[in-house]
């Protein structure tokens, strides 16, 4: 156990240092591909880094004294989520850290006086309600097949998990836009201009405060694709192709769909969780004890 | 952190907020045209945000009247320093064809300081993009001057105790 932790420690530390660069690069490629899909030239590939550098260089000007510790906690726990995942800690524990990170961002939004931020925070809570069952079911499904709740244990199982758990994988891909703040589920806040809530969750967050939120988002997107990788980990080629194709699929969905109302987001996420996720696991459960 | 070596980042990532004072919407349509594939303002790192706290450059179209003057002042006050204002079109300059109306105060400069004027009625998208890029350069120069000012301000305060101490 302890030797496993020690073996995983370089990976976890590597994540802490490399995730901001990898996450920023993912965001940069995303913006470039999105621009090309729309027939535009698009920003430079490294634009997210320019944005972050600018945001962090601006004067710290929070709307209240609570905002900074809340947003900083959001960043710390977002990074900690990935750190613990790649350390091989029990994934069920990690879900609580992940929820804590999300709750801190919601609290930061609630702490501002902006009505846009408050509606954005309400919607973020609804999205959490929508995606959490599927996150838990993903881990339950991975355990059911591999008998492991830790990242490296699952990755070392050598099973073609995407073939064994197609419904669970579909459910995970369905909720990915919620965590990545992408259409059709970018109702709490959006990267794109002119959404009906102005900036929603991040309204009233400017300069370094917004920079921290952005950094936390990069940390999150890296470990999210880490979860996607688990489904393809049995084969080196699949391990590269699977997450890459999923990444481009999410960009395509982002560009091809309109933002849905919260009722549709909640209902569809739970329906997919129930039909694809539970439906996938039902035969496993019927065959024997979990 | 690497501010001094790389130059101000603000030049590469000017975020915009657009306010329609009392424009006829001619200039507004041209502002939106800047975001389309033909002109693509995102090439310069521009993001149009609706949030004044996240914006670096305020784009104003149309003249100012008694109703929208306070709103404009409020938006400007919420933007963090350094900030720049780009007045787009003839109305934002002087009130344009509406200058003689009983309720029109005049151009944007009646309410807030303007940094760049974009000519035209309506202003052309190329001219608007030019105005935004010039404003971004202006912001970078201002930030450079501000950091230089704080650096030079820091040196005398560090030197003062030495000089008053009498050659210590």
Section B25-40 average pLDDT: 91
- Residue A27: pLDDT band (50, 70, 90) is very high
**What is residue A196's predicted lDDT score, i.e. its pLDDT?**
75
pLDDT per residue over A63-111, tens digit each? 888 999 999 999 999 999 999 999 989 998 898 999 999 999 999 999 9
**Contacting residues of B for A44, CB less than 8 Å apart:** 12, 45
Write b or e for each residue in B40-51: b if 16 or more Cβ atoms lie within 10 A of its Cβ, otherwise e: bbbebbbbbbbb
**What is residue B76's predicted lDDT score, i.e. its pLDDT?**
95
**What is residue B10's predicted lDDT score, i.e. its pLDDT?**
85
Section B114-137 average pLDDT: 94
Cβ distance A206 to B80 less than 8 Å, yes or no, reads yes
Section A221-249 average pLDDT: 93
pTM: 0.89
Q: Higher-confidence residue: B160 or A13?
A: A13
Decide if pLDDT at B167 tops 90. no
**What is residue A2's predicted lDDT score, i.e. its pLDDT?**
58
Which is nearest to A197 in space by CA: A266, A148, A250, A124?
Answer: A124
**What is residue B36's predicted lDDT score, i.e. its pLDDT?**
86
Distance from CA of B92 to the nearest CA of A (A): 23
**What is residue B119's predicted lDDT score, i.e. its pLDDT?**
94
Determine the Cα–Cα distance for residues B60 and B27; give it in Å rounded to an integer: 9
- Ordered by start, the domain boundaries in chain B are 9-164
**Contacting residues of B for A204, CB less than 8 Å apart:** 51, 53
**What is residue B35's predicted lDDT score, i.e. its pLDDT?**
85
**What is residue B55's predicted lDDT score, i.e. its pLDDT?**
92
**CATH topology assigned to domain B9-164:** Rossmann fold (3.40.50)
Residues 6+ apart with CB under 8 A from A245: none
Domain of residue A6, residue span: 2-287
pLDDT per residue over A157-198, tens digit each? 888 989 899 999 999 999 999 999 888 898 888 777 666 777
Residues 6+ apart with CB under 8 A from A53: B2, B6, B9, B13
**What is residue B126's predicted lDDT score, i.e. its pLDDT?**
94
Decide if pLDDT at B166 tops 80. no
Cβ distance A193 to B50 less than 8 Å, yes or no, reads yes
- To the nearest whole percent, how much of chain A has pLDDT over 90? 65
Query: What is the number of residues in chain A?
Result: 290
- Residue A37: pLDDT band (50, 70, 90) is very high
Decide if pLDDT at A23 tops 50. yes
Work out the angle at residue B68's Cα, subtended by the Cα atoms of residues B62 and B72, and round it to the nearest 5 degrees.
85
Residue B108, both tokens = 């944007």
Decide if pLDDT at A43 tops 60. yes
Residue of chain B whose Cα is closest to the Cα of A198: B50
**Contacting residues of A for B42, CB less than 8 Å apart:** 31, 35, 40, 42-43
**What is residue A113's predicted lDDT score, i.e. its pLDDT?**
83
Cβ distance A206 to B47 less than 8 Å, yes or no, reads no
Q: Per the structure, how many domains does chain A have?
A: 1
DSSP A41: -
Whole-angstrom distance between the N-terminal and C-terminal Cα of chain B? 33
Q: Higher-confidence residue: B167 or A182?
A: A182
pLDDT per residue over B69-108, tens digit each? 999 999 999 998 889 999 999 999 999 999 999 999 999 9
Section A243-250 average pLDDT: 95
């Amino acid at each position: 156990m302890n030797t496993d932790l020690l073996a995983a420690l370089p990976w976890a530390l590597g994540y802490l240092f490399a995730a901001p660069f990898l996450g920023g690069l993912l965001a940069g490629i995303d913006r470039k591909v999105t621009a090309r899909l729309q027939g535009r030239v698009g920003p430079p590939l490294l634009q997210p880094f320019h944005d972050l550098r600018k945001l962090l260089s601006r004067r710290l000007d929070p709307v209240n004294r609570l905002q900074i510790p809340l947003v900083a906690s959001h960043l710390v726990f977002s990074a900690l989520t990935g750190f613990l995942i790649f350390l091989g800690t029990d994934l069920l524990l990690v879900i609580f850290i992940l929820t804590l990170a999300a709750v801190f961002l919601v609290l930061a939004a609630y702490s501002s006086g902006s009505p846009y931020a408050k509606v954005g925070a309400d919607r973020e809570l609804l999205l959490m309600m929508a995606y959490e069952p599927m996150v838990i079911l993903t881990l339950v499904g991975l355990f059911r097949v591999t008998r492991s709740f830790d990242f490296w244990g699952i990755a070392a199982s050598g099973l073609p998990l995407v073939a064994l758990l197609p419904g669970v994988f579909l459910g995970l891909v369905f909720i990915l836009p919620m965590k990545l703040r992408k259409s059709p589920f970018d109702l709490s806040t959006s990267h794109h201009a002119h959404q009906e809530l102005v900036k929603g969750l991040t309204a009233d967050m400017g300069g370094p405060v917004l920079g921290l939120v952005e950094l936390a988002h990069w940390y999150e997107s890296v470990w999210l694709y880490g979860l996607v990788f688990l489904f393809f980990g049995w084969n080196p080629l699949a391990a590269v192709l699977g997450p890459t194709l999923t990444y481009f699929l999410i960009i395509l969905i982002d560009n091809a769909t309109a933002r849905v109302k919260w009722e549709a987001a909640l209902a569809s996420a739970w329906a997919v969780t129930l039909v694809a996720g539970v439906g996938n696991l039902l035969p496993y459960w019927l065959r024997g004890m979990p | 952190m690497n501010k001094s070596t790389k130059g101000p980042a603000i030049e590469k990532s000017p975020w915009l907020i657009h306010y329609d004072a009392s424009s006829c919407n001619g200039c507004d349509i041209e502002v939106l045209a800047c975001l389309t594939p033909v002109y693509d303002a995102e090439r310069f790192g521009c993001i149009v945000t609706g949030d004044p706290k996240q914006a670096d450059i305020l784009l104003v179209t149309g003249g100012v009247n008694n109703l929208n003057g306070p709103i404009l002042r409020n938006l400007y006050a919420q933007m963090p320093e350094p900030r720049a204002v780009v007045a787009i079109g003839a109305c934002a300059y002087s009130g344009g064809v509406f200058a003689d109306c009983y309720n029109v105060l005049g151009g944007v400069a009646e309410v807030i300081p303007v940094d760049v004027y974009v000519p035209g009625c309506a202003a052309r998208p190329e001219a608007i993009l030019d105005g935004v890029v010039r404003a971004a350069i202006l912001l970078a120069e201002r930030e450079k001057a501000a950091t230089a000012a704080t650096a030079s301000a820091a040196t005398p305060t560090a030197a003062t105790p030495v000089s008053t101490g009498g050659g210590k």
